[in-house]
């Protein structure tokens, strides 16, 4: 039997495969391209393409695709076969350097927010050589970035790569000041923990809402939910275990470092976490992970739900984005050091993240905003929509001491100069206790916990990288121009703590008191997607992205459009699904139930006028009242969904959904859910929450 180490990464055209298959000078040239970020020259690309093709064909591949992440949030691929026809009617298998480096898919159906004029439907895909090609379902997949004819980003990958460039540049400036001339590059690292639900395929297909929208739009709570806490870390069911095994095997073949799996808090909810890696690769790998999970679930007769909130009243699913910065010499810049100088450097990076999160709360909030995630944030299960940071008592008290120039060890003040000879190491378990914080320091990395389970991690990391790059550039400006490095550094750290400590909150983020306190501190509380999106266009934010060349103003406007449009489209589908379910299934079922009850009353009375009919009558009355209310909401929804189509601006339409349509959807749901508890099981047309959540046995 093959062991994991034998087959790990066997479907990846990795550095080691390249080293083995490419002439030494070509491989060296490729490495240089990776190190310097320069464009690959076409002769080198031709040799690589040919080797890649031979390798792929040996592995049974017949097609290749430029695999990219358009702004829809999922990955896209168009398959081309390697065949080229010959004059004699035969074919040969060919793949050129040009085809490797650049592709030209017809991009007209991908969202572009007006970036690509309709007459110029073409988009370009360009290989990201830092993310290796791989074979998936017999197709050679080449990870690429996707741009318009004018070079504007039409995908999530391009801005991410630009943001990595920005943070690399600014971090190197800082590291130089600390004497680290040996560091040639800095990369951010990410380990995204992925939550999901598994439900049985048969019950899934009986729910139109799950099929069309990925979440239940109706559904009363079952007698048993997650209150017993008996699922979290509980024994994994054999069927789920078998699924996880297939997922692992497939991911390992693709070089994805799948590491931890366990049951999550809600029934049917699970989590998969990989070992962290460089951010752009982690992003690709997370997309692959979601795809593989969905595919394997089907093979095991189940459906993997990635929606942020498939079930009301039960925990939703998020994605914890563990993030750090690591150097080409192998140092983690968010790891507290052993020596005073290392600690000063650590504190500076820590302060950079603190200031970045405070200055760009709005952008971080926007980066995780979606119609689906709106159901999660602020509920008693996910961080609130308020962005704050958890540092732990220990680190916070050190920062307080620095701010006040106190000596925490009661030693001489002098000892504290340059931030702290006395900085202790932070055992991970003292820093990772608070699970309610949106942005928590966990010993040697930050965990950004607001991400929704279905979204790509590209956006949040683009924002985080850029915001931190900006603060580091401000720090570098100050520190490069001083004759007293230590003094300036100390003052800088003090100033940041003083001005930005409002963002630090170590308490319970689920507590209502926090909402009040946060307001007092002047922190933003942007509850929904339409509330936060307009902040994207604020000058400070446009300036940030432009300065670091991550998004141009045109791109920001386009992305703003797309985010609003996407929100509206999701809601439109939800509204139409609700209307269809209510009109075609739910209301007719309730009527039949009423009819049966009324018939019973008549039959009973035909036997004797004195027989008690109070049970049937009260149900008839209650169900009639609720169905009339539901019917009126359905009519309102129909009218409102026509009205929203007349609103031209997508942001105004998004606001209309939020203010005018969602309340009616909620009202309709309330009536329907109550009717579900009153109707006989025989008359209810959909599998219940109980049927769904406990469907995998």
Query: Site residues (CB under 5 A) for Mg ion?
Result: 320
Q: Does 478 bind ligand ADP (CB under 6 A)?
A: no
Stretch that binds ligand ADP, among 269-277, 364-372, 586-594, 688-696 (CB under 6 A): 269-277
Report the phi/psi class of residue 522: left, alpha or beta, with left for phi > 0 and alpha for psi in -120 to 50: left
507-534 CB burial, b ≥16 within 10 A, e <16: eebbeeebbebbeeeebbbbbbbbbbbb
CA 673 – CA 676 distance, rounded (Å): 5
Nearer to ligand ADP, 258 or 668 (CB): 258
Q: How far apart are the first and last CA of the chain?
A: 29
Please state, in angstroms and as integers, the Cα–Cα distance from residue 522 to each residue in 131, 501, 502, 526, 544, following that order. 41, 12, 8, 12, 21
Nearer to ligand ADP, 444 or 591 (CB): 444
Q: Does 158 bind ligand ADP (CB under 6 A)?
A: no
CA 188 – CA 278 distance, rounded (Å): 6
Report DSSP state, residue 235. Answer: P
Q: How many CB atoms lie within 10 A of CB 432?
A: 16
Work out what residue 668 binds among ligand ADP, Mg ion, none; the CB cut-off runs from 5 to 8 Å by kind: none
Nearer to ligand ADP, 46 or 431 (CB): 431
Q: Does 323 bind ligand ADP (CB under 6 A)?
A: yes
Work out what residue 332 binds among Mg ion, ligand ADP, none; the CB cut-off runs from 5 to 8 Å by kind: ligand ADP
Work out what residue 191 binds among Mg ion, ligand ADP, none; the CB cut-off runs from 5 to 8 Å by kind: ligand ADP
Candidates 273, 281, 296, 303; binder of ligand ADP (CB under 6 A) is: 273
Q: Does 276 bind ligand ADP (CB under 6 A)?
A: yes
Work out what residue 111 binds among Mg ion, ligand ADP, none; the CB cut-off runs from 5 to 8 Å by kind: none
CA 448 – CA 614 distance, rounded (Å): 56
Positive or negative, the Cα torsion across 631, 632, 635, 636?
negative
CA 374 – CA 308 distance, rounded (Å): 9
Q: Are 360 and 467 in contact (CB under 8 A)?
A: yes
The pattern of x and - marking residues 430 through 449 that bind ligand ADP according to CB under 6 A reads --x-----------xx----
Nearer to ligand ADP, 143 or 192 (CB): 192
Q: Are 456 and 287 in contact (CB under 8 A)?
A: yes
Nearer to ligand ADP, 276 or 426 (CB): 276
Candidates 113, 143, 274, 438; binder of ligand ADP (CB under 6 A) is: 274
Compute the least distance from the CB of residue 328 to ligand ADP, in Å.
Answer: 15
Stretch that binds ligand ADP, among 84-92, 110-118, 268-276, 378-386 (CB under 6 A): 268-276
CA 366 – CA 460 distance, rounded (Å): 8
- The full 3-state SS of 94-140, as one line of letters, equals CCCHHHHHEECCECCCCCCCCCCCCCCCEEEEEECCCCCEEEECCEE
Work out what residue 275 binds among Mg ion, ligand ADP, none; the CB cut-off runs from 5 to 8 Å by kind: ligand ADP
Compute the least distance from the CB of residue 414 to ligand ADP, in Å.
Answer: 33
Work out what residue 165 binds among ligand ADP, Mg ion, none; the CB cut-off runs from 5 to 8 Å by kind: none
Stretch that binds ligand ADP, among 226-234, 319-327, 369-377, 464-472 (CB under 6 A): 319-327
Cβ-closest position to ligand ADP: 191
CA 277 – CA 77 distance, rounded (Å): 24
Compute the least distance from the CB of residue 143 to ligand ADP, in Å.
Answer: 20
CA 397 – CA 391 distance, rounded (Å): 10
Nearer to Mg ion, 229 or 412 (CB): 229
Compute the least distance from the CB of residue 370 to ligand ADP, in Å.
Answer: 22
CA 619 – CA 627 distance, rounded (Å): 12
Please state, in angstroms and as integers, the Cα–Cα distance from residue 457 to each residue in 61, 205, 332, 463, 598, following that order. 29, 29, 21, 10, 55
CA dihedral 364, 353, 193, 342 (to 10 degrees): 170
Stretch that binds ligand ADP, among 36-44, 60-68, 224-232, 322-330 (CB under 6 A): 322-330
For residue 660 the two structure tokens come to 């005018």
Q: Are 490 and 413 in contact (CB under 8 A)?
A: no
Compute the least distance from the CB of residue 86 to ligand ADP, in Å.
Answer: 49
Nearer to ligand ADP, 143 or 191 (CB): 191
**Degrees, nearest 5: CA angle 358-364-365:** 105
Q: Does 190 bind ligand ADP (CB under 6 A)?
A: yes
Positive or negative, the Cα torsion across 282, 287, 290, 293?
negative
Q: Classify 23 as helix, strand or coil.
A: coil
Work out what residue 117 binds among ligand ADP, Mg ion, none; the CB cut-off runs from 5 to 8 Å by kind: none
Compute the least distance from the CB of residue 324 to ligand ADP, in Å.
Answer: 3
Q: Does 275 bind ligand ADP (CB under 6 A)?
A: yes
Q: How many CB atoms lie within 10 A of CB 91?
A: 11
Work out what residue 276 binds among ligand ADP, Mg ion, none; the CB cut-off runs from 5 to 8 Å by kind: ligand ADP
Candidates 125, 158, 286, 324; binder of ligand ADP (CB under 6 A) is: 324
Candidates 332, 499, 591, 688; binder of ligand ADP (CB under 6 A) is: 332
Q: Does 278 bind ligand ADP (CB under 6 A)?
A: no
For residue 555 the two structure tokens come to 């791109």
Q: Does 619 bind ligand ADP (CB under 6 A)?
A: no
Q: Does 322 bind ligand ADP (CB under 6 A)?
A: yes
Q: Does 287 bind ligand ADP (CB under 6 A)?
A: no
> Partners of 273 in the beta sheet?
260
Q: Classify 268 as helix, strand or coil.
A: coil
Nearer to ligand ADP, 11 or 271 (CB): 271
Stretch that binds ligand ADP, among 185-193, 452-460, 484-492, 628-636 (CB under 6 A): 185-193
Candidates 189, 370, 373, 577; binder of ligand ADP (CB under 6 A) is: 189
For residue 231 the two structure tokens come to 């699922």
460-499 CB burial, b ≥16 within 10 A, e <16: bbbbbbbbbbbbbbbbbeebeeeeeeeebbbebbbebbee
Compute the least distance from the CB of residue 372 to Mg ion, in Å.
Answer: 20
Q: Does 64 bind ligand ADP (CB under 6 A)?
A: no
Nearer to Mg ion, 206 or 433 (CB): 433
List residues binding ligand ADP (CB under 6 A). Answer: 189-191, 193, 273-276, 322-324, 332, 432, 444-445
């Amino acid at each position: 039997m093959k062991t994991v180490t034998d087959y790990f990464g066997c479907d990846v055209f990795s550095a080691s495969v390249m080293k083995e298959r490419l002439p030494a000078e070509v491989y060296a040239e490729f490495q240089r391209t990776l190190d310097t970020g320069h464009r690959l020259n076409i002769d080198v690309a031709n040799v690589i393409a040919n080797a890649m093709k031979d390798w792929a064909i040996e592995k049974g591949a017949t097609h290749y695709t430029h695999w990219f992440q358009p702004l829809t949030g999922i990955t896209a691929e168009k398959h081309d076969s390697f065949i080229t026809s010959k004059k004699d009617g035969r074919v040969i298998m060919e793949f050129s350097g040009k085809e490797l480096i650049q592709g030209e898919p017809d991009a007209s159906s991908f969202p572009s927010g007006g970036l690509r004029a309709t007459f110029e439907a073409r988009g370009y895909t360009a290989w990201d050589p830092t993310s290796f090609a791989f074979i998936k379902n017999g197709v050679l997949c080449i990870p690429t970035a996707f741009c318009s004819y004018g070079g504007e980003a039409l995908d999530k990958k391009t801005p991410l790569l630009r943001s990595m460039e920005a943070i690399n540049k600014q971090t190197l400036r800082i590291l130089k000041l600390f004497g680290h001339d040996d560091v040639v590059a800095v990369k951010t690292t990410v380990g995204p923990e992925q939550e999901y639900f598994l439900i049985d395929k048969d019950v899934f297909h009986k729910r139109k809402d799950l099929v069309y929208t990925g979440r239940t739009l109706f559904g009363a709570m079952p007698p048993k939910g997650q209150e017993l806490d008996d699922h979290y870390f509980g024994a994994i069911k054999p069927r789920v275990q078998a699924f996880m095994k297939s997922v692992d095997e497939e991911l390992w073949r693709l070089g994805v470092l799948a590491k931890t799996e366990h049951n999550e808090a809600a029934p049917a909810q699970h989590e998969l976490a990989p070992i962290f890696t460089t951010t752009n690769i982690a992003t690709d790998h997370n997309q692959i992970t979601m795809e593989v999970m969905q595919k394997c679930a089907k093979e095991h007769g189940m459906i993997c739900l990635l929606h942020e909130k498939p079930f009301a009243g039960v925990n939703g699913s998020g994605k914890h984005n563990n993030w750090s910065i690591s150097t080409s010499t192998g140092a983690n810049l968010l790891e507290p050091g052993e020596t005073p100088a290392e600690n000063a450097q650590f504190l500076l990076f820590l302060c950079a993240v603190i200031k970045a999160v405070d200055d760009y709360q709005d952008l971080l909030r926007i980066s995780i905003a979606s119609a689906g995630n709106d159901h999660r944030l602020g509920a008693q299960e996910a961080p609130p929509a308020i962005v704050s940071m958890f540092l732990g008592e220990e680190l916070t008290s050190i920062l307080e001491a620095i701010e006040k120039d106190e000596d925490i060890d009661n030693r001489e003040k002098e000892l504290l100069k340059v931030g702290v000879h006395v900085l202790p190491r932070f055992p991970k378990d003292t820093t990772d206790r608070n699970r309610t914080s949106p942005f928590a320091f966990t010993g040697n990395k930050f965990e950004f916990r607001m991400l929704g389970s279905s979204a790509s991690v590209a956006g949040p990391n683009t924002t985080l990288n850029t915001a931190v790059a900006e603060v580091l550039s401000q720090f570098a400006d100050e520190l490069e121009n001083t004759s007293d490095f230590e003094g300036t550094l100390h003052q800088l750290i003090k100033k940041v703590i003083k001005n930005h400590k409002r963002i630090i909150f170590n308490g319970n983020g689920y507590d209502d008191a926090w909402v009040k306190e946060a307001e007092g501190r002047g922190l933003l509380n942007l509850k929904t997607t339409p509330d936060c999106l307009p902040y994207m266009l604020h000058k400070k934010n446009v300036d940030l992205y432009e300065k670091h060349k991550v998004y141009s103003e045109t791109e920001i406007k386009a992305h703003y459009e797309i985010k609003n449009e996407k929100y509206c489209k999701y809601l439109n589908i939800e509204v139409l699904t609700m209307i269809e379910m209510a009109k075609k299934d739910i209301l007719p079922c309730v009527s039949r139930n009423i009819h049966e009850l009324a018939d019973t009353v008549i039959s009973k009375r035909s036997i004797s006028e004195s027989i008690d009919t109070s049970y049937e009558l009260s149900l008839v009355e209650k169900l009639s009242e609720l169905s009339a209310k539901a019917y009126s909401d359905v009519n309102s929804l129909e009218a409102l969904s026509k009205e929203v189509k007349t609103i031209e601006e997508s942001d105004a339409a998004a606001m209309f959904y939020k203010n005018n349509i969602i309340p009616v959807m909620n009202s309709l749901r309330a009536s329907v859910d109550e009717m579900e508890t009153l109707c006989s099981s025989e008359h209810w047309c959909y599998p219940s929450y109980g049927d769904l959540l406990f469907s995998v046995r």
